[in-house]
A and B are shown apart, each in its own frame.
Chain A
Amino acid sequence: MYRYDEFDEKFVAERAAQFRRQVKRRLAGELTEDQFRPLRLMNGLYLQLHAYMLRVNVPYGTLSSKQMRCFAHIARKYDRNFGHFTTRQNIQYNWIKLEQAPDIIKALADAEITSIQSSGNCVRNITSDQYAGCAKDELADPRVYCELLRQYSFLHPEFSYLPRKFKIAVTGSPNDRAAVAVHDIGLRMHKNDQGELGFEVLVGGGLGRTPYIGQTIRKWLAPEHLLSYVEAILRVYNMLGRRDNIHKARIKIIVNQMGIDKYRELVDKEWELTKNGALKVPAAELERINAYFAPPAYEKLADLTVELGAERNADRAFDRWMRGNVIEHKVPGYAIVNISLKAPGRVPGDITADKMDAVADLADRYSFGEIRVSHRQNLVLVDVKQSDLQQLWRELFALELATPNLGLLSDIICCPGLDYCALANARSIPIAQDISRAFTDLDELQRIGNFTINISGCMNACGHHHVGHIGILGVDKRGEEFFQLTLGGASDQHASLGDRLGPGLPQAEVPGAIRKIVDTYLEMRTHEERFIDTYRRVGIEPFKGAVYGAEARTH
């Protein structure tokens, strides 16, 4: 993985020192809260319901075991022994004191971690495929371009006060695990007709109160032009994006108001003047970064299909976990192991300091010391020898980190909600807990198959509810919490926004409604059809009827 050189190191140390000075000025009253807010936000520090929350970047979801131990250390020393992994591959601490924030940021900097631009109206943490570099279906490793963008975006003098936040995601695989279509800029690596690798560029996707699927602004972009093209998109947005209304300030609004063709025209006009300038990516710099992502020292091994088959036959629980959480690796003899942070009744994405340390140890012993974070709030050990799988499974099982539910109904995305968040209208965590407790039968979960439930505690949609197969949105109706269901959302290469099922339900009725939706699906599906495919085939009506009864059909 990428390691800081002397320049990166110095930059991050200088940023930490600057933040310490800014906090000092705030505590001394030299900065008003209004002036301080964007400064602390651009260092990831939010003021929430009960305390400050610190959001720390995991650039494109890649972590070393050393960095994971640093996360554990922060959780123990400055928080309440746990952290929360988010839908943007970051980690959040919920109980931070302002006075201690500079020390935390310094400790993170020493481990080559930052919270720079994890919030604020600037380019946020660059996200990507959690299996980057290891996935069998991958065309190219997206991390080198993520890292290029990470450096380019940090404290950009022109784009640190954009109209609104700006999120970029990159996928190197045609099977999009990075949800690029719901980002301000989505980059999809693919080959053009000449067989050259480049990017399809999507722009204007996003969730929140006005969700849109991103549109293609450029079908193919040469990698050397990546930064100049992104800069052209950002410059047009910075100058034309709305400043008068925070709810209409995202790039998706302007792209959809003027139309993608007009936006493309403006970007191209700008880009023509800059594309061969200082932002052209030097091949030597690409090579330098690429070298950090060279494959680890894989052994020459053969796939152990037969041996593993015997072990799986002998142990049903191991077999379930293999089927659920282990996926193919591009290198023979290796496998990708997903660690579900979605045990029944637990808070999705939460993990204790002790378990962080334990995962770091497992990464050192079984996966070249590297850990990935997925936007679905799980962890991954990407380079595990197949011959180690059973032993690793036993250890994960003992840690209660072997719930075999990856991609299944209880693998729920959930935002922190009203338990923590100052923006939330409703408590999302208890809903996730209720649903996961209602679906604990592992055989049943595997029978139901691939299913995504995404829960947000308000319309800001941190839980990506619009793109869950089932989306659940918490709303406040005259002081009472209700939950609106949407069906048919997806965030992969066939991204779509969910359709509203009907009136909001009280918390107690949500698990029952999910049960009815699942039963209806099981009745209507053909053979191996996934829920999303059944839904797309039959439409919303049968599900509406199942949840709201016959009277719904008369409306």
Chain B
Amino acid sequence: MSLIKAGKVVEDVFFDASQADAVPPSGAVIVSFDQWQAQRDALLARDAPLGIRLHSDQSPELIAADVQRFALIALEFPKFRDGRAYSYARLLRERYGFKGELRAVGDVLMEQLFFMLRTGFDAFDLQQSPDPVAAFQTAMADFSVWYQPTGDGRKTAVELRLGRR
């Protein structure tokens, strides 16, 4: 498992406390939605970046009013076939204005990276890839034409056609 950001393998500065019994007193952490609900004030009082990890049945609507409080939001893909987080990512970026790190976690595979990138993810907890950087680059290079406008700002085929007139 490797964390990929901006095309490079990077060290994860966050400690994932979402499964832990207690949130450590210091350092960047990722908490679960339940922890966030139960310990909201304490978590906001910590002097370190805060992340939240949402299950695939937890819509980001649950945290819509608070997204700016998080440095990181991690969305789970429990199976790569579960595509709910693609919609959630777009809502976070395009509707709730989330600007922090949007991380894909769980069953994150090379063949879905491109969809993730286009829906707004910018960090990928890539599973089982012998050469994650090469995998990322291959996935990014697969396509240069896309038909759907999303919040990533890439120009669609329609926009390019109109631009040529």
> Hey, which bits of chain A sit against chain B, CB under 8 A?
5, 7-8, 10-11, 14-15, 17-18, 21-22, 31, 35, 38-39, 121, 151-152, 154-163, 235, 238-239, 243, 273, 277-279, 282, 284-285, 288
Tell yes or no: B86 within 8 A of A by CB: yes
Chain A minimum-CB-distance residue to B145: A11
Which of the 9-residue segments B4-12, B43-51, B77-85 touches chain A?
Answer: B77-85
Tell yes or no: B146 within 8 A of A by CB: yes
Which of the 9-residue segments B19-27, B33-41, B155-163 touches chain A?
Answer: B155-163
A31 vs B80: C-alpha distance in the bound complex, in angstroms? 13
> Hey, which bits of chain B sit against chain A, CB under 8 A?
56, 59, 80-84, 86-88, 90, 95, 109, 111-112, 114-116, 118-119, 138, 142-150, 157-158, 160-162, 165
10 pairs, A vs B, C-beta closer than 8 Å? A21-B142, A22-B111, A35-B111, A38-B81, A121-B83, A157-B118, A158-B87, A158-B119, A239-B87, A284-B162
A14 contacts across to B, CB distance below 8 A? 142-145
Given A21-B138, A121-B81, are A5 and B161 also a contact pair (CB < 8 Å)?
Answer: yes
A277 vs B149: C-alpha distance in the bound complex, in angstroms? 10
Choose from A15, A18, A243 the contact partner of B82 (Cβ within 8 Å). Answer: A243
B144 touching A157, Cβ below 8 Å: no
B146 touching A235, Cβ below 8 Å: no
Chain A minimum-CB-distance residue to B156: A278
A278 vs B158: C-alpha distance in the bound complex, in angstroms? 11
Smallest beta-carbon distance A165→chain B, Å: 13
Chain B minimum-CB-distance residue to A154: B147
Smallest beta-carbon distance B152→chain A, Å: 9
B116 contacts across to A, CB distance below 8 A? 157
A159 vs B147: C-alpha distance in the bound complex, in angstroms? 13
B165 touching A284, Cβ below 8 Å: yes
Chain A minimum-CB-distance residue to B59: A239
Smallest beta-carbon distance B15→chain A, Å: 29
Choose from A10, A35, A38, A239 the contact partner of B145 (Cβ within 8 Å). Answer: A10
A154 vs B158: C-alpha distance in the bound complex, in angstroms? 13
Smallest beta-carbon distance A408→chain B, Å: 41
Chain A minimum-CB-distance residue to B129: A30
Smallest beta-carbon distance B146→chain A, Å: 7
A158 touching B149, Cβ below 8 Å: no
Smallest beta-carbon distance B86→chain A, Å: 5
Chain B minimum-CB-distance residue to A12: B145
A152 touching B147, Cβ below 8 Å: yes
A157 vs B94: C-alpha distance in the bound complex, in angstroms? 14
Choose from A11, A35, A39, A239 the contact partner of B88 (Cβ within 8 Å). Answer: A239
B81 contacts across to A, CB distance below 8 A? 38, 121, 161
A18 vs B83: C-alpha distance in the bound complex, in angstroms? 21
B165 contacts across to A, CB distance below 8 A? 284
B95 touching A273, Cβ below 8 Å: yes
Chain B minimum-CB-distance residue to A9: B145
B143 touching A155, Cβ below 8 Å: yes
B56 contacts across to A, CB distance below 8 A? 243
A273 contacts across to B, CB distance below 8 A? 95
A160 touching B83, Cβ below 8 Å: yes
Given A121-B81, A157-B119, are A282 and B162 also a contact pair (CB < 8 Å)?
Answer: yes
